[in-house]
């Protein structure tokens, strides 16, 4: 099945290459948007609840990492300050 699709795509691509000029480019442009529309319909969009929960999770993890790095930075700067003074 993938060989068929690959061959069809190769045939389509070679046909497009032969149709040079502005008309060929317009056809390629239209085909691109038609294929994009088909692919967008396949997307499973997250619900509002899923979006909010993942956003909160990202914010919390970012806050924890920021605090950890801030504490490590403070400790290392105190150690380097003690060594150099």
Tens digits of per-residue pLDDT, 33-61? 999 999 999 999 999 999 999 999 999 99
| SS3 assignment, position 19 | coil
Which pTM was predicted?
0.53
pLDDT at 21: 79
pLDDT at 3: 56
Nearest alpha carbon to residue 13 among 2, 23, 27, 1:
27
> Position of tokens 């605090």?
67
């Amino acid at each position: 099945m993938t060989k068929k699709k690959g061959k069809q795509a190769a045939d389509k691509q070679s046909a497009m290459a032969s149709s040079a000029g502005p008309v060929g480019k317009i056809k390629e442009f239209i085909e691109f948007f038609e294929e994009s529309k088909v692919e967008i319909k396949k997307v499973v969009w997250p619900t509002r609840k899923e979006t909010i929960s993942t956003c909160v999770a990202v914010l919390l993890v970012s806050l924890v990492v920021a605090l950890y790095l801030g504490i490590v930075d403070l400790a290392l700067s105190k150690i380097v300050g003690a060594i150099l003074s």
